[in-house]
Structure 1
Amino acid sequence: MDTNLPKSNHPRVVIIGCGFGGMRLAQSLKHDPVQVVVIDRHNYHNFQPLLYQVATGALEADSIAYPIRKIFAGQKNFFYRMADVEHVDTANNRVHTNIGEVSYDYLVVATGSLTNFFGIESIERNAMQIKSIPNALNLRSYIFQNFEKALLKEDPAQRQALMNIVVVGGGPTGVEISGSLAEMRRTVLPKDYPELDLKQMNIILVEAGPALLGPMSQKSQQEALRYLQELGVDVRLNTGIKRFEDCRAYYTETDFIPTENLIWAAGVNGAALPGLPEQVVTRNKRINVNSWNQVEGFENVFAIGDVANMVTDDMPKGMPMLAPVAQQQAEHLADNFRRMIRREQPVPFKYFNKGVMAIVARNKAVVDLPKDVHFRGFLGWLTWLFVHLMTLVGFRNKVVAFVDWAFSYFASDQALRLIIRPFNRRDMKDDKGKRAAEHQVATPQYNPTPPAIQTPAA
């Protein structure tokens, strides 16, 4: 019981997840009379907005991650356990993990989000995603492995499928990785693969909606589209990928894009935990909370960040799944914990929108600030770099990222094109270390004859 956690006369706050919300909450409780216990399956905090740069070789993996124990070194009321949470027992105030049980006085679910494949099994089984550092490293290896294979192919159709890259999802992640790949095609790959005709390499960004960057202003949407088209990205709006099999990304029942490389950035679900009542978990796996992040029906269970579904008059679909929301909710919940300890009434959360931004390529970014302030281009690019640099955890990470970005900018090159660990789809695992599907599939080879169309069962 309690995995050797010391006894304390203070209330124990158990935080599941050390993302933006969980980390900020634990830091905000540093000087309070509580025992803070963080449970996470990884021993590091991962800066997700820059994962795509790890995937394209612009940054080292360890420059966007920082050890949890080092973040909280010197915080006397902090304890960390590396574990997978199996389920929560709200009736007995316990969290069941793969290393034992942990009791709590207050529980905070800060588990973030998981990739949403919308029930398309072939995509879940075969597509690449970018939700973790292992995902990003796998994607980087896989792309460069396929270029090495393309050198050996005499069949133009097989070579084309190995070189084509399809990105699904026109949000910030999809736009940013498409722009990064287009820059790599223009400045990096010609040096590495002079034997290949890179005009055959197509980067196709597929978005089911009518515009890119849905939450941003119309000006930013139009500018991002223009930037991508200038870079030679084939942007297809109002288009969805129905399935991905036999190295074909089908956008209708019969029409497909030949590709070995499908990057899925089309949506996310909340990472709700087993053990919570079904009625508090929404369709997209977020947890319904009230205006101070308290889970409906519970006095001592809370949720913050991407996994929390806080509905307001201004945001009837819930708070946006953004890092600033998680950080502000964490700071506000810490204040409310102090109030509750003093037997005072919690106060409602109010989100302060500091703006949103997205980078497309070098000197090309779009920024939306409150009060309809919008700018783009070089100034937007500098703003994006500065904000992300300052948000990185750890001085070393800031320095390494700055040096890598400066090198890439002035040399028009990315030095991290390393296949550290060759990747095979049959080894694809989800974030819990389990197989993404119950059965294994060998890496598919391009087949010039379309397979028979399968009609879904009624």
Structure 2
Amino acid sequence: MRSSMEMEGLAKIEHVGKPRVVIVGGGFGGLELAKALRDAPVQVVLVDKQNYHTFQPLMYQVATAGLEAADIISPFRQILKGQSNLCFRMAEVEHVDTTTHVLKTSIGLIPYDHLIIATGATSNYFGDAEMARHAVAIKSVEDAVELRNTVLSNFEKALQIDDVEQLNSLLDFVIVGGGPTGVEVAGALSELRKHVFPKDYREIDFRQMDIHLIQSGNTLLKGMSAEASQKALEYLQKFGVDVLLDRRVQSYDGYTVTLNTGEKLITRTLIWAAGVAGAPIEGIRPESLRKGNRYEVDTFNRIAGYTNIYAIGDIAAMVSAEYPEGHPMVAQPAIQQGRLLGENIVRMLAGNPLEPFRYHDQGAMATIGRNHAVADIKMLGKDYKTQGFFAWVMWVFVHLIALVGFRNRLSVFANWTWSYFSQERGSRFIMGKRRESVETTAKSAVA
């Protein structure tokens, strides 16, 4: 009887007689791991459903017309072109057979000796199917472009509407989630309202454009310092953002937002930045999953119950007294885990002891708009907190340096410089997919 491998067919990847390390996902962790194995005596196979790496921290700038999508993405083949022991395959992962050590993908079967899952996270709507259907998230470049198209399309439609409620439903925005993404989107929309949209749409009175930011807790930027949280709140309120703390969204039908307090808001654009969950793959024992769909891993990033399957980044939950839910789902833990796992694979192949992971927290920062940002920096064993213009300069510098590729850095720097002095946004195109707004004459009352 023929094996399932023979029946389904192998993906066309030459086996070079070295241990094969298969990495699923080319985000921050997966990319850093691939680079760390550059000189290792292994064959590296990187699998991703896209053929490019996305710099997610600047996704919101694509959504708010500050940057082009091409400014924050880089092709894997270009990034890794000098790495002779690596091959990239664009494919969807369907299943992993942990007994035969084979990954099933849309292009065929890929055998592995070591499998690393770096699939990142996806939006978590906490089981609310209606919210998932109507809200707009920003978890991919396609999402960001769709949101930009939707925002601009709303204003084009608003030019043809006289009804006050219908007009407000197009002009008003509700952002759910007071973390860095929610805060940065709110700040960017407030800048567009003040500097850009009034020049583009002169017939519209933008005093009618409301931006609501809803946060379930009593502070913004959870995980950052109290000073950063308070200053972010002050900046947003200064920019005219309606910040609603201690509120939760109970429902959204594409037009009416109902809060747990009974308050109602109307909007055709609800931006979801409230939560994420890991993106697991089929075939891994469900007992290895923790809350939030993250794989439980040991200090060497091995998934519980396996010796040759690892998880890094957002999908990994390395539980400790300091991090009872696992490390923060941000770029730095993923990068550091990817780098160390690459070094540990080399140690393992040489028969040397492995080094446990220790997270070096470098702090966090968020920008709320032009010349306004907050930063908590950890350096040389000390904590530094700063807000305002200096924090904004730091934010700009850190993000420029972290971008992958010289072309991207140059393009983003040029765009930011032009925008800073002209107070313009150059990417105001409606091109491609947009979210169709709900056509309704609902009698919702604005809270």
Q: What interval of TM-score do these two structures reach, taking the shorter chain for normalisation?
A: over 0.9
State whether structure 2 residue 332 is matched by structure 1 residue 324.
Answer: yes
Q: Distance in 2 between matches of 1:253 and 1:101?
A: 52
- Deviations 1:48-97 (CA, angstroms, capped at 9, x unpaired): 00000000110010010000111111211001110000011111101101
Letter in 2 for 1:416: S
Q: For residue 430 of structure 1, what is the aligned residue in structure 2?
A: none
Secondary structure of 2:249's match?
Answer: coil
State whether structure 2 residue 120 is matched by structure 1 residue 112.
Answer: yes
State whether structure 2 residue 239 is matched by structure 1 residue 239.
Answer: no
Give matches, 1:357-372, under 5 Å: 357-370=365-378, 371-372=382-383
Q: 369-378 vs 25-34, which deviates more?
A: 369-378
Q: Distance in 1 between matches of 2:103 and 2:43?
A: 15
State whether structure 2 residue 59 is matched by structure 1 residue 51.
Answer: yes
> When the two structures are superposed, what TM-score results if normalisation uses the length of structure 1?
0.93
- Aligned partners of 2:29 and 2:335 also within 8 Å: yes
- Deviation of the 1:344 alpha carbon: 2.3
- Aligned partners of 1:13 and 1:107 also within 8 Å: yes
Secondary structure of 2:11's match?
Answer: helix
- Deviations 1:320-368 (CA, angstroms, capped at 9, x unpaired): 1110100100111011101110122222100101111001001000000
- Deviation of the 1:253 alpha carbon: 7.7
Aligned residues: 434
Aligned partner (choices 146, 152, 166) of residue 138 of structure 1: 146
Q: For residue 448 of structure 1, what is the aligned residue in structure 2?
A: 442
Q: What's the % identity of the aligned pairs?
A: 44
> When the two structures are superposed, what TM-score results if normalisation uses the length of structure 2?
0.95
Give matches, 1:178-257, under 5 Å: 178-252=186-260, 254-257=262-265
Q: Distance in 2 between matches of 1:254 and 1:78?
A: 55
Q: Distance in 2 between matches of 1:221 and 1:321?
A: 19
Letter in 1 for 2:127: G
- Aligned partners of 2:135 and 2:254 also within 8 Å: no
- Deviation of the 1:313 alpha carbon: 1.9
Letter in 2 for 1:347: E
Note the aligned Cα RMSD (angstroms): 1.2
Q: Distance in 2 between matches of 1:289 and 1:192?
A: 51
Q: Distance in 2 between matches of 1:115 and 1:424?
A: 17
Aligned partner (choices 19, 28, 31) of residue 27 of structure 2: 19
- Deviation of the 1:154 alpha carbon: 1.0
State whether structure 2 residue 386 is matched by structure 1 residue 375.
Answer: yes
Secondary structure of 2:417's match?
Answer: helix
Letter in 1 for 2:220: L
Q: 28-37 vs 365-374, which deviates more?
A: 365-374
Aligned partner (choices 423, 429, 446) of residue 412 of structure 1: 423
Secondary structure of 2:290's match?
Answer: coil
Q: Distance in 2 between matches of 1:205 and 1:305?
A: 28
State whether structure 2 residue 404 is matched by structure 1 residue 396.
Answer: no
Gap regions ≥5 residues in structure 1 = 426-442, 452-458
Distance verdict in 2 for CA 1:307–1:422, change over 3 Å: closer
Q: For residue 436 of structure 1, what is the aligned residue in structure 2?
A: none
Q: For residue 264 of structure 1, what is the aligned residue in structure 2?
A: 272
Q: Distance in 1 between matches of 2:374 and 2:175?
A: 20
Q: Distance in 2 between matches of 1:28 and 1:105?
A: 17
Q: Distance in 2 between matches of 1:130 and 1:223?
A: 25
- Deviations 1:140-174 (CA, angstroms, capped at 9, x unpaired): 00001011111100101100110000000000000
Secondary structure of 1:114's match?
Answer: strand
Q: Distance in 2 between matches of 1:252 and 1:161?
A: 20
- Aligned partners of 2:296 and 2:316 also within 8 Å: yes
Q: Distance in 1 between matches of 2:435 and 2:280?
A: 29
- Aligned partners of 1:247 and 1:447 also within 8 Å: no
- Deviation of the 1:422 alpha carbon: 4.9
Secondary structure of 1:125's match?
Answer: helix
- Deviation of the 1:246 alpha carbon: 4.6
Q: Distance in 1 between matches of 2:209 and 2:294?
A: 38
State whether structure 2 residue 345 is matched by structure 1 residue 337.
Answer: yes
State whether structure 2 residue 288 is matched by structure 1 residue 280.
Answer: yes
Q: For residue 6 of structure 2, what is the aligned residue in structure 1?
A: none
Q: Distance in 1 between matches of 2:254 and 2:317?
A: 38
- Deviations 1:356-410 (CA, angstroms, capped at 9, x unpaired): 1001001000000123310011110010001100111111100000000001100
- Aligned partners of 2:174 and 2:213 also within 8 Å: yes
Q: Distance in 2 between matches of 1:270 and 1:422?
A: 26
- Aligned partners of 1:115 and 1:269 also within 8 Å: yes
